[in-house]
Structure 1
Amino acid sequence: MPFPASLRLKTSCAALLCTLAAPAMAIQVTDNLDLGGAIRARWDVDPDRDIQKFGLDTVFLNAKYTSDTWIGAAQYRFYGRSYPYQYTKNYGDIRFAQQAWVGYKFNPNQQVQVGLNQVPFGLQPLFGSTFYETLGNVIGLEDVQQVGAKYIQQIGDWNIQGGYYLRPAWQGQGTSHGVTYSSVVSEADSSVVDGSHNQERNTVVLRVAKALELGAWKSEVGLSGLTSTLENKDTDENGRRNAIAVHYAGKNGPWGVQLQAARQQMSPRNPGTSEVVTLGGYDGTYNVASRGNLYVADLSYDVAGKYLFDQISGVKLYANYSAFDKSADEFKTSQRLILGTSFSFSKLWIATEWLIGKNDPYIGGSSYAQSLGAGGSDQWENQLYMNVGYYF
């Protein structure tokens, strides 16, 4: 893939990188409370669509509290103006919470979290090594935050996590009905053909995992299950969402492997077609097939040592493949392949990824609203993505 760059782009990149590298300090308010955040830039290159954009991606603020008994975390994010949000006037026109919870530790192996926290489903904390995340994210199973309570207990080699979530994340600010950090069941925007208006309630989830050694591989195998109510606001009838997953994660020296298979089945009570359910997030809404299987495979390698006068460290190479195989015969399978690397450069953390997708709403300009439903262009598309962050 050719990556042409204009002088103006190079100048903008250099200026922003200098800004990101400026000194910053996390604020330790007390021995237990820390405040921090990040400033992140992104670079998108897609020659087929004549896209070459570099600009401010995200600013977020963190708060973290840790003591022997009480714990908590909160994060709030700001987006806008820069690509892909160039349609907004000001930075911060799109904003939402990523997490906001408090917890209590009964002992080092047992705790409870209450508030906006991560749903314990499948591989944790993500379904692989990628920054961009897998198709599991956009079908609402990966990196999902909802409002409720989660219980975590470690018993020897066993890790048990169970949660009850009253509702999805609170809506933030934006131009769409889907203004949350996570991809969640949402009210469709008027532009989404066959869109629906459901709300997810009373989500119950259980994740059980066991640590074990398979030869030289330090491993984890696990099983997860999720069920919830889908309240349709047009018909006033309730449907259901069910999901189950099995996963494996293994580490052998620098090598890492993560595998997962999941089944998601939704039975909405839509006034129109029930073959799709509208989800939303990051200021957009789109349709997802009601029934399908998700497959994820991730291979990674940690490169030891420091390079370039000790400025580059923590290098990871990875390849991640995910596919959403829909049950409806006429629906086209969605696929995503990511080849990438992440590393620290001085005080910056950088992820560079080659994104390859088919019927993927976020790669190559396939149909945003329908790719995860009936399908999009049904052609392989690709683009380059880089994220540069300064975390403080």
Structure 2
Amino acid sequence: MPFPVSLRFSPLYLALLCTFAAPAMAVQVTDNLDLGGAVRARWDYDPDRDIQKFGLDTVFLSAKYNSDTWIGEAQYRFYGRSYPYQYTRNYGDIQFAKYAWAGYRFNPDQQVQVGLNSVPFGLQPYFGSTFYETLGNVIGLEDVQQVGAKYIQQSGDWNVQAGYYLRPAWQGKGTSNGVTYSSVVSEADSYVTDGSDNQERHTVVLRVARALDLGPWKSEVGLSGLTSNIQNRDTDKDGRRNAVALHYLGKNGPWGVQLQAARQQMSPRNPGTDELVTFGGYDGTYNVASRGNLYVADLSYDVAGKYLFDQISGVKLYANYSAFDKSADDFKTSERAILGTSFSFSKLWIATEWIFGKNDPYIGGSSYTQSLGAGGTGHWENQLYMNIGYYF
């Protein structure tokens, strides 16, 4: 996929590409502790909105500790200046932790994690093969980290994960009330019409999954449930957030299938409408319908072999569809479809995706603050997206 001829590289981007060309420099501090990170660039192309942007996307630093008993992971991320954060002056003006937890392994099949860790809900670790992720991410169900404790147990074909989370992720640095990696219940910024000010506490989640063979398909089926308290800070009244999901994951040679159906139902005690709850993340806040069903389907194919003088490997082709069907009669359904591929090129990992969105806050400029609530423009938009990462 060629870059637009109008692309202009700053000295920062040139330094970035020189970094990409350098050899990997993972640091093993001890036999148990590894330090690493990544530098990632992104390319966005949307001719309908005259967007042709290439820039530094993410820098993150990570640490991982692993022994027979004690375990832990942490990752901290930096953003800013480049699209879509061109409104900030310096790189690093937006920053936050993705996760930061310590754990204890009782035996190879049992462990506990305490701190900012991943909430075990639905398909894990993501709702499909995509880099951009599904609509489950922006309604606060996919790739979510909160502060609490999680217990994991593997018993034969059964995997059980249970968590109690006191609160969502700590706020990082940015320009908005939604400065976290995860999409979480937040206080609305002033630009969000019909926004609310809720805080989520005491999240309890249980995920039970079983591995089994269905003919030639190596499969997993699972059921997840989540419940939490959402307190409105204007009315000082408590509401609830409940969610349940049924998922299937199957692998047959190079073919992969992931399916999920989920229901999210929130009963906020807002001073205004209870049909909306404001969420935030990645330096923004927006409204989400308080009640709706999420559907996800993902098909993937792993291409064997190496290509281009063995420089290209690990090629995956995938198609993903997600829809958020809201319960309110006058709210428009949000939809997202992604056709993409990911692969390794020398020391780089690259994902290229053609993304279609309808009433999607991130695709086509529909309506960032209202698409997941009442809806946006109501018609399909599309854009091309590429992420290029050097991981060390």
**Shared fold (TM-score, shorter chain, > 0.5):** yes
Contact 1:3/1:45 (8 A) holds in 2: no
Find the aligned partners of 1:222 and 1:80 in 2 and give their Cα distance. Answer: 38
Cα drift, residue 11 of structure 1 = 10
Counterpart amino acid of residue 355 in structure 1: I
The answer as to 2:103 corresponding to 1:103 is yes
Contact 2:255/2:302 (8 A) holds in 1: yes
Cα drift, residue 18 of structure 1 = 3.5
Cα drift, residue 19 of structure 1 = 3.0
Counterpart amino acid of residue 308 in structure 1: L
Find the aligned partners of 1:239 and 1:8 in 2 and give their Cα distance. Answer: 50
Matches within 5 A, 1:217-366: 217-366=217-366
Tell me what 2:75 maps to.
75
Cα drift, residue 239 of structure 1 = 0.1
Tell me what 1:210 maps to.
210
Cα drift, residue 8 of structure 1 = 3.2
Find the aligned partners of 1:30 and 1:90 in 2 and give their Cα distance. Answer: 34
Contact 1:2/1:47 (8 A) holds in 2: no
Contact 1:200/1:229 (8 A) holds in 2: yes
Find the aligned partners of 2:348 and 2:203 in 1 and give their Cα distance. Answer: 38
Find the aligned partners of 1:137 and 1:12 in 2 and give their Cα distance. Answer: 30
Find the aligned partners of 2:59 and 2:386 in 1 and give their Cα distance. Answer: 16
**RMSD between aligned residues:** 1.5
The number of residues matched between the two structures is 392
Gap runs ≥5 in structure 1: none
Which segment drifts farther, 5-14 or 167-176?
A: 5-14
Find the aligned partners of 2:195 and 2:23 in 1 and give their Cα distance. Answer: 47
Tell me what 1:145 maps to.
145
Find the aligned partners of 2:19 and 2:109 in 1 and give their Cα distance. Answer: 41
Tell me what 1:385 maps to.
385
Tell me what 2:50 maps to.
50
Tell me what 1:59 maps to.
59
Counterpart amino acid of residue 121 in structure 1: F
The answer as to 2:159 corresponding to 1:162 is no
Cα deviation digits, residues 236-289 of structure 1 (max 9, x gap): 000000000000000000000000000000000000000000000000000000
Cα deviation digits, residues 60-95 of structure 1 (max 9, x gap): 000000000000000000000000000000000000
Cα drift, residue 101 of structure 1 = 0.2
Contact 1:12/1:54 (8 A) holds in 2: no
The answer as to 2:85 corresponding to 1:85 is yes
Cα distance change on mapping 1:380 and 1:388 into 2, 3 Å: same
Contact 1:316/1:342 (8 A) holds in 2: yes
Tell me what 2:171 maps to.
171
SS in 2 for 1:8: coil
Matches within 5 A, 1:111-126: 111-126=111-126
SS in 1 for 2:19: helix
Cα drift, residue 4 of structure 1 = 4.1
Gap runs ≥5 in structure 2: none
Cα deviation digits, residues 149-179 of structure 1 (max 9, x gap): 0000001100000000000000000000000
SS in 1 for 2:40: strand
Cα distance change on mapping 1:334 and 1:24 into 2, 3 Å: same
Cα drift, residue 22 of structure 1 = 1.7
Cα drift, residue 20 of structure 1 = 1.7
Find the aligned partners of 1:149 and 1:128 in 2 and give their Cα distance. Answer: 25
Find the aligned partners of 1:43 and 1:253 in 2 and give their Cα distance. Answer: 32
Contact 2:334/2:375 (8 A) holds in 1: yes
Which segment drifts farther, 95-104 or 2-11?
A: 2-11
Find the aligned partners of 2:117 and 2:260 in 1 and give their Cα distance. Answer: 22
Find the aligned partners of 1:12 and 1:53 in 2 and give their Cα distance. Answer: 14
Give the percent of matched residue pairs that are identical in Structure 1 and Structure 2. Answer: 85
SS in 1 for 2:8: helix
Tell me what 2:28 maps to.
28
Contact 2:348/2:391 (8 A) holds in 1: yes
